Each structure stands twice: as structure tokens, then as C-alpha cells.
Structure 1
């Protein structure tokens, strides 16, 4: 079973979580001034990268809080989780965990 690290509760099984889509998408400041095409792009068009992707997750069957996660869409492994409102972590600057035998 896949374990996901909730920033508030620690490692928990994947069945406790719900994905809420792409992270770091800001709502337009003046939506009434947007064209229908731009509004549709904001509502429906998302990136779908192969590789690392920032997503919003909810610990639905735990604390109920939302958080962001960096997940590799190829391997389905989570590289990092962080609280909402925090900047996206720079994985290149993060040292790799020590390997144990």
C-alpha cells in the first residue's frame, strides 16, 4: 500500500486521501473582465506532465485538511508534501536521504 505523508498527521495509507487537482493555480483577480475563452481555460485546462507535478490533496479520512504534494506521475511516488500557502519546495536543493543497508 502507498503511504502518503500528511504534513499534519504524518504517514498514512493512501485510502485516507483524495486528490484535488493541480496546485498553485491562482483565481483571476477580475473574472468579469475575462473573455469566455480565457475563463474556460482557467476552469478546465490543466497541465498533464509526465514526471514531477504539484497537486492539492485532502486528508479526507484523517484531519480533513488540504495540503500540496509533489508527485511523479510516472512512478506515482510522492517526492514531498507541504502545507497550503507554502512555496513549492526546490527538490534540487534538497539533499537526498541517506541510504541504509
Structure 2
């Protein structure tokens, strides 16, 4: 499987480490009243979708960047690759 890195171009998936659901970039507020419940959900409860899914990948064997990869979990077709820092910044501005 090839991942089209936004800066480096097409790279083999073996250069990356899959780290799970892209929602992991949204850490719970540690000072919230229900912080324990939020972190329990954050750390242990995950969806296992069939179809298009946003995933977090780390370019371990390259520039060590974090990517958000939108991939169909049934066909492994990748429809979008974004820098995680850009996604996190854009979502932070929209709040």
C-alpha cells in the first residue's frame, strides 16, 4: 500500500506505523469534572468501522511526521492524506 505523503510524495506503508483512529488528536480536558470518564473512553473505547475511516499514521522510517489518512478499511483505498498538525490547527480554529 502506498501513502501519498503531502510533502515527500508516495511512500510505502512499511515506512509508517498505524496508530489508530484520528480522533486521538483530540485529547480530553484533564481538568474537566468527568476527566476520568473522558480519558477512559479516549484510551479504551474505539469504533471498528467498515468503510471510510480517518486514521492516524506516524512516518517512523522517514521525516517522523504525523499524518491523517482517510482510508477505506474494506478495500484499503486511500482517498486523502493530510498533515495531522494542519488538521489539528484547522479544527482548533473552527471551535
TM-score interval for Structure 1 and Structure 2 normalised by the shorter chain: 0.7 to 0.9
SS in 1 for 2:63: coil
Query: Whose radius of gyration is greater, 1 or 2?
Result: 1
Question: What is the alpha-carbon distance in structure 2 between the residues aligned to residue 13 and residue 67 of structure 1?
Answer: 14
Residue 51 of structure 1 pairs with residue 51 of structure 2 = yes
1:33-61 deviations in Å (ceiling 9; x for gaps): 22644432221111111000000111111
Equivalent residue pairs, number = 87
Residue 33 of structure 1 pairs with residue 43 of structure 2 = no
SS in 1 for 2:14: helix
Unaligned runs of 5+ in 1: 88-101
Question: What is the alpha-carbon distance in structure 2 between the residues aligned to residue 29 and residue 39 of structure 1?
Answer: 9
Structure 1-normalised TM-score?
Answer: 0.73
Greater helix fraction, Structure 1 or Structure 2: 2
Residue 84 of structure 1 pairs with residue 84 of structure 2 = yes
Question: What is the alpha-carbon distance in structure 2 between the residues aligned to residue 70 and residue 80 of structure 1?
Answer: 5
Aligned to 1:9: 8
Structure 2-normalised TM-score?
Answer: 0.77
